[in-house]
A and B are shown apart, each in its own frame.
Chain A
Amino acid sequence: MSDRDRQGAPRQAPGWQPSNWQAPLELEPVRPGPGANEATPQTEPTGDDAGKFANLSLSHWNWTVPGFIGGVLALILVALAFDASDLLSRAFASSYAFGAAVAGLVALVVIAALKLAVDEVISVRRLRRIDALRDEANQLLAADGHGAAGAFATTVSRFYRDRTDIAPTIETLNASINDAHNDREIITLIDRQVLAPIDQSAYNSVLRASRDTAIATALSPSAALDVVIVLWRNLKLVREVATLYGAKPGRFGSWRLMRRMLGNLAVAGVAEGLSHVAVDALGGSIAAAISTKLGQGMVNGLLTARVGVATMVLCRPVAFTAENRPGLRRIRTELLNVPKEVL
């Protein structure tokens, strides 16, 4: 017997309650649905984001550039295939064993190329998933509702399921979330309990990399070596940071990460040019040369740090908030110690 039946449904005042007002009532405790924030086993979303954008810009899709690049690549592939078959036939003509060896080499190259391509595709997909997660988190935060973030927490924990180092924090997260938390609170909990420790180690990686770059470029004798050091250390840093966040970047990472790094390299070249101008202006004394070298090192260190922080921003499944956004302050103070270490 419900309260509603006993007391009679209250008449509804027009313009008072929201249109779907429901009087208090008691229900049979048979089988309630899953709790609001209980992790619901949810099927993997099928398909990808392609459908979302399919009808966006097809009408004035410019085919020339992709057509050109794709065509050239296809032509190169065809040429390579012809060359390879030609090579194979010539090798087999000279001797069977030699032919087999060359065939093995060709197979190795093809398989390695395929593996690389698959890895790249996987890495791009993982980055896309991180982007999708971040979008979802932003939407949930904007909606400021209740009951939807439980599924998001499940997705995040599934994203990190093969990471043994994150497993304990995921466990803490699951223990902390209860049905009373709203979406904003759950995302804050994910942010603080799962991602904050990752931020910490990522920031330490950035700190290390920027110090390494600063010292190495301060000590390196030539500009060309500077570029190589910066390139190598930045690549390594991007891979380190992205791996920490579970992005598993491929050989080239994503184009966005690459673009950031290319910009960085360009500035490294500029720093080199400027330092020469400065040494010339100061009359090329040794002290001036040393100080410009040191200054260059610090500039490169800072730039590396910026690349690292940019990677952190790009690879984080929940966007940084104003409070926990990583700053360059600590890195800057660390870099100010570099001259002492070098001299």
Chain B
Amino acid sequence: MSTKFPDWNNLAGFGEKVLDQALGHVGTLAGRMLEGNVRLGVTGLRRAGKTVFVTSLIDNLIRGGRLPFMDVVAGNRFLAARLRSSPDRSAPRFAYEKYLANLTAAPPHWPAATSGVAQLRMALRYVPGSSMRRSIQPISTLNVDVIDYPGEWLMDLPMLNQSFADWSALTLELLEHEPRRQIGARWLHWLSTIAPDKRADETATKEGASLYTDYLHACRRSQANLSLVQPGRFLEPGELAGSPVLTFCPLPLPEATARPGSLWEVMSERFDDYKHNVVRKFFVEHFSRLDRQIVLVDVLGMLNAGPAALHDMRMALTACLEAFRHGRGGWLSKLTGGQIDKVLFAATKADHIAASQHGNLKNLLDMLVSEARNAIRFEGATVDTMALAAVKCTETVTTEHQGRKLACIQGTPLGRQKPTVLFPGSIPDGPDLFPEDVAQPYRFMDFEPPAGVGRDGRGLPNIRLDQALNFLLGDRLV
């Protein structure tokens, strides 16, 4: 007898059936409500490896063959991961397939620099670890939202708390020191020819903005590999290319109060416009509801570029991390928009040095981010540091050189075809990174992705990606 037409002689049985079904529905509904969501913020300055990190993260979760340090995988509770369409339709989908194809092509190559925002949702299916949760829901799902964006845009976040005057003063102060003074010489010259409290002239405004943009590009290209370059959209305009909102530049504070229509006033208005309509919009849409954050830092690239770059990166990181709200998210803050309760600082490209150096790399990162880390810890979030590589391009080998055993790496340096063995140099374990009398103590090389990478179907080879994921997501996969 179907449940649609109840057997009037057996009402009790019918009631039981209906109740069973209802309970079943409630169970599935509860299950759907119990479906967890995590927004993972992949933060990193330019060239820190965000896109490759996200690609490797997705690939490894989908294939699941190289994650022995994830508790859920080690406990045989991980079922599978799938890509899902993101509930937020405003941003394009992260082109995971394209980037993976880049990495696994013959010959393989790195994905091009990111020029716009993209996001992706992954659903992770797993068996809950506790028997109580298993009885409610035998299989749980965790949705992980990941977003990828140009690292340049991150540098806009500190501007949110600054007025045009503050920002101008800070930027001009930076320009008083080398190497920026030399790089920005042409723009500084233009600055000396104008008076900010005079009436604005659109050609002059445009010239100033374009010279300033040139300066920013030169900073990015420079040997010193500077990180603190604002505003980020001047470098990677995304959909704003050619927009008038991008025509402003910092100005020295005029002595008298600026009259309406003066250059200062015009630039100040555009700055506020940029702040409110571009930066705040991006921040609110993508960053304000993050639960977990990983900050990727290219420590080796900074060591290559020298002390100025390292100092610059440190300032840039401290400045943009201030914008995030960290702290243990209570129920109230979860309702009103989450707070980040776990932050991982990761030194990327750890495969560019021998594995025995990873400890020193981690210590160095600890030292570099100590200020930001303490501030985040003070707010109540958990912080950890790690040396990792999203795609492992080298093998650590030991070789004999002049009677000494050296831990070397074997891989194909960028731009070459044949693999080679090289000693990449070592990272000091003390705080003195740059000696006075050694011109360029570090020359860490970049490597090509190894040929045939990921062909074994276990996911892209990586270094400590599993430990990073376990730190970031492990407690949501219990």
The answer to whether the Cβ of B184 comes within 8 Å of any Cβ in the partner chain is: no
Please tell me the size bucket of the interface on B. 35 or more
- Chain A residues lying within 8 Å of B444, measured Cβ to Cβ, are 24
- Chain B residues lying within 8 Å of A175, measured Cβ to Cβ, are 458
Q: How far is the CB of A223 from chain B (nearest CB, A)?
A: 38
Q: B423, A20: Cβ atoms under 8 Å?
A: no
Q: How far is the CB of B79 from chain A (nearest CB, A)?
A: 17
Given contacts A11-B438, A179-B396, whether A26 and B421 have CB atoms under 8 Å apart is yes
Q: A147, B432: Cβ atoms under 8 Å?
A: no
Q: Which of B173-181, B352-360, B377-385 makes up part of the contact surface?
A: B352-360
The answer to whether the Cβ of A181 comes within 8 Å of any Cβ in the partner chain is: yes
- Chain B residues lying within 8 Å of A11, measured Cβ to Cβ, are 437-438
Residue of A nearest to B350 (CB): A180
The answer to whether the Cβ of B395 comes within 8 Å of any Cβ in the partner chain is: yes
Given contacts A22-B426, A146-B355, whether A180 and B69 have CB atoms under 8 Å apart is no
Residue of A nearest to B351 (CB): A180
Q: B359, A16: Cβ atoms under 8 Å?
A: no
- Chain A residues lying within 8 Å of B237, measured Cβ to Cβ, are none
Q: How far is the CB of B38 from chain A (nearest CB, A)?
A: 23
Distance, CA A182 to CA B350, complexed state (A): 13
- Chain A residues lying within 8 Å of B435, measured Cβ to Cβ, are 13, 16-17
Distance, CA A144 to CA B429, complexed state (A): 15
Distance, CA A49 to CA B383, complexed state (A): 44
- Chain A residues lying within 8 Å of B397, measured Cβ to Cβ, are 32-36, 179
Q: How far is the CB of A238 from chain B (nearest CB, A)?
A: 28
* Residue in contact with A180 in the complex, picked from B392, B429, B432, CB distance below 8 Å: B392
Distance, CA A247 to CA B256, complexed state (A): 88
- Chain B residues lying within 8 Å of A26, measured Cβ to Cβ, are 420-423
Q: B399, A32: Cβ atoms under 8 Å?
A: yes
Contact with B along A1-36 (1 / 0, CB 8 A): 001000000111100111011111111110011111
The answer to whether the Cβ of B436 comes within 8 Å of any Cβ in the partner chain is: yes
* Residue in contact with B410 in the complex, picked from A10, A29, A144, A146, CB distance below 8 Å: A29
Q: Which of A91-99, A187-195, A277-285, A302-310 makes up part of the contact surface?
A: A187-195
Given contacts A13-B438, A32-B397, A32-B399, whether A23 and B358 have CB atoms under 8 Å apart is no
- Chain A residues lying within 8 Å of B407, measured Cβ to Cβ, are 36, 146-147
Contact with A along B420-464 (1 / 0, CB 8 A): 111111101100100111111111100000000000001001011
Q: B418, A192: Cβ atoms under 8 Å?
A: no
- Chain B residues lying within 8 Å of A35, measured Cβ to Cβ, are 395-398
Please tell me the size bucket of the interface on A. 35 or more
- Chain B residues lying within 8 Å of A17, measured Cβ to Cβ, are 426, 428, 435
Q: How far is the CB of A153 from chain B (nearest CB, A)?
A: 13
Distance, CA A35 to CA B356, complexed state (A): 12
The answer to whether the Cβ of A176 comes within 8 Å of any Cβ in the partner chain is: yes
Q: A178, B443: Cβ atoms under 8 Å?
A: no
The answer to whether the Cβ of A119 comes within 8 Å of any Cβ in the partner chain is: no
Residue of A nearest to B357 (CB): A146
The answer to whether the Cβ of B401 comes within 8 Å of any Cβ in the partner chain is: yes
Cβ < 8 Å to B, chain A residues 172-220: 172, 175-176, 178-182, 185, 188-189, 192-193, 196
Q: A22, B423: Cβ atoms under 8 Å?
A: yes
Residue of B nearest to A197 (CB): B76
- Chain A residues lying within 8 Å of B399, measured Cβ to Cβ, are 27, 32-33
Cβ < 8 Å to A, chain B residues 362-398: 389, 392, 395-398
- Chain B residues lying within 8 Å of A147, measured Cβ to Cβ, are 355-356, 398, 407
The answer to whether the Cβ of B337 comes within 8 Å of any Cβ in the partner chain is: no
Distance, CA A25 to CA B442, complexed state (A): 11
- Chain A residues lying within 8 Å of B423, measured Cβ to Cβ, are 22, 24-27
- Chain B residues lying within 8 Å of A13, measured Cβ to Cβ, are 435-438
Distance, CA A17 to CA B458, complexed state (A): 40
Given contacts A35-B395, A180-B350, whether A27 and B355 have CB atoms under 8 Å apart is no
Of B397, B404, B429, the most chain A CB neighbours within 10 A belong to B397
- Chain B residues lying within 8 Å of A36, measured Cβ to Cβ, are 354-356, 396-398, 407
* Residue in contact with B398 in the complex, picked from A16, A23, A34, A145, CB distance below 8 Å: A34
Q: How far is the CB of A103 from chain B (nearest CB, A)?
A: 59
Q: A193, B68: Cβ atoms under 8 Å?
A: yes
Residue of A nearest to B406 (CB): A22
A-B contact pairs, 14 of them (CB 8 A): A16-B428, A22-B404, A24-B422, A24-B442, A24-B443, A24-B444, A25-B422, A32-B408, A37-B396, A147-B356, A172-B68, A175-B458, A180-B392, A181-B355
Binding site for B on A (CB under 8 A): 3, 10-13, 16-18, 20-29, 32-37, 144-147, 172, 175-176, 178-182, 185, 188-189, 192-193, 196
Q: Which 3 A-B pairs have the closest CB atoms?
A: A24-B425, A13-B435, A32-B397
Binding site for A on B (CB under 8 A): 66, 68-69, 74, 350-351, 354-356, 358-359, 389, 392, 395-401, 404-408, 410, 418-426, 428-429, 432, 435-444, 458, 461, 463-464
Given A182-B356, A185-B69, 7 new contacts (CB under 8 A): A26-B423, A33-B400, A35-B396, A36-B354, A36-B397, A36-B398, A188-B69
